Structure 1
Amino acid sequence: MTCPFCTMPNEQIILENKLAKAFYDKYPVQKGHLLFVPKRHVETYFEATEDEIMAIHQLIHQGKEIIDQQYQPDGYNIGVNIGEFGGQTVMHLHIHLIPRYKGDIEDPRGGIRKAIPNLVPYP
């Protein structure tokens, strides 16, 4: 099976460096939801090198600046799903940067411990 992150068209990439790239999530939880992936096909966070993780984190900071300018969110969640039972559906490491907005859920206490209503239905 072909990895959608490895074969992503260049025009969908909004940020990149030597080891990582970022793009908008195809099924965003909120406006501005970004994904960050290593360029090398790596299945999980724990298989990535320290250099790849650092490259992703550099892009996360740049992505936050873009989201701040375009959407002015009130908060953020950063998350990674690892393995099928951790909720991972694309088996290529990807880290989510999800902007949060006042009122997006009634009580945001607990953050990612609660379900966030999806902006777009996930298949």
Structure 2
Amino acid sequence: MSKPCPFYTLPAERIINSNEFGMTIRDGFPVSPGHTLVIPKRHIGSWFDITSDEQLALLDLLARAKTVLQDEFNPDGYNIGINDGRAAGQTVPHLHMHLIPRYKDDQNDPRGGVRSIIPEKAKYWE
């Protein structure tokens, strides 16, 4: 028996914002204060399998989430990411976008950002 999708068992109070096609919540295992997820309502695994209307709706939620985070946490930057497929590190087989606020000095050297998923390739400037 497979585990139910964790995004279908969310209590309503976890939902920060929503529209016809998606919703935003705070990540249950945040990597920084304010780490937010943008999730489609339809159960689908990949960004490349959703409709253009769904993509636009999720991007709208992403922009709205950024405004909320800016007001609430005032971060100095953001990482935006999607783990699309097992090889990319996707552990929940339901598409979701990470909006990760970044703060000055949260890392000694943040250069390379998302490239750091393969550490030996992150420092292309060396």
TM-score (norm 1): 0.90
Q: Does 1:111 align with 2:121?
A: no
C-alpha RMSD over aligned residues: 0.9
Over 2 Å off, 4+ runs = none
Residue 85 (structure 1) shift: 1.1
1:80-112, CA deviations, whole angstroms, 9 ceiling, x for partnerless residues? Answer: 001111000000000000000000111111111
Report SS of the residue matched to 1:53: helix
Aligned sequence identity (%):
49
Greater C-alpha radius of gyration: 2
Identify the match of residue 90 of structure 2 among 64, 88, 91: 88
**What residue number does 2:18 align with?**
16
- Equivalent residue, structure 2, for 1:61: 63
- The answer to whether residue 28 in structure 2 is matched with residue 45 in structure 1 is no
How many residue pairs were aligned?
115
Q: Which runs of 5+ in 2 are unaligned?
A: 118-126
Distance in 2 (CA, whole Å) between partners of 1:27 and 1:12 is 13
C-alpha deviation, 1:114, in angstroms:
2.0
Deviations 1:43-85 (A, max 9, x none): 1111111111111100111101110011110000100001111
CA distance in 2: counterparts of 1:35 and 1:29, whole angstroms: 12
